[in-house]
Amino acid sequence: MTTVVVEKDTKVNQETKRILKRFARKRDNLIPILQKVQGRLGYLPREAMLEIANYLDVPEMDVYSVVTFYNQFRLNPPGRHSIRVCLGTACHMKGGYITLDAWKRRLGIGPGETTADQEFDLGTVACVGCCTMAPVTVVDGKPEAKVEPTRVDGLLLSFGHESQKELKKNHANS
C-alpha cells in the first residue's frame, strides 16, 4: 500500500512541477497556478499545495488559506457524479437545507466531501438561477427541479446507488 501512495505522490508532484514551469515565481500567480493544478488533477492534494508554496516561496499556510477561502477549489478528489444543492434565497425558502440534509444522510458525507467509493461528491451553490424550480439540485451539471427528500432517493436509484448499498449490506449479513 505504501508503494501506491508513493507512486501517487510522485505523479502529483510531477504534474504540479510540469504546470509550475509555465509560471513565473511570483506570488501573483498563486490563484492561476492553483486553478491549473486543480484543472489537471481534479482537486488540490496536500502534496501539490506544498510544491506550489515551495515554488513561489510563500508560507504553506498562505496557499492553504487561499484554497479554503475560495469555493472554486477542492481539497478532495471529485466523485464520478457531482451533486450540488442550491441554497439561494428561493431554494432556502422552499427547503434547500432539508434537501441538503437528505443528500448528506443518503450519501453519508457532508458538503465538500466525496463518498468512499468515489461515486459521488456533494457541495452547495449560492444560486443556480432556476428559482421557479426550487428547491434545485444540480446533478452532473443538470438542474433537477423540486428536489425534496423523496426525490433524493429517486435520483440515487437512477444511479443504482441504493441497490448497490443494499446488495453490500445483504452480502455482509450472509
pLDDT for position 10:
77
| Choice among 6-20, 34-48, 137-151, 159-173 with the minimum mean pLDDT | 159-173
CA distance 50 to 64: 9
CA distances from 3 to 6, 9, 10, 15 (A): 5, 10, 10, 18
Task: Kindly tell me if the per-residue pLDDT of 60 is higher than 60.
Answer: yes
pLDDT for position 160:
80
CA distance 168 to 39: 34
DSSP string, 65-103: HHHHHSTT--SSPPPSEEEEEE-SHHHHHTTHHHHHHHH
CA within 13 Å, CB half, 29? 16
Q: Which long-range contacts (CB under 8 A, 24 or more apart) does 33-36 make?
A: 34/63, 34/66, 34/67, 34/73, 35/72
Q: Specify the pTM.
A: 0.71
Average pLDDT of the residues in 78-88: 95
CA distance 46 to 25: 20
Average pLDDT of the residues in 139-151: 95
CA distance 60 to 123: 25
Q: pLDDT, tens digit, for every residue of 91-112? A: 999 999 999 999 999 999 999 8
Sheet containing 113-114: which strands, arranged edge to edge? 113-114, 120-125, 81-86, 137-139, 142-144
Q: Domains of the chain by range and CATH? A: 2-69 (1.10.10), 81-173 (3.40.30.10)
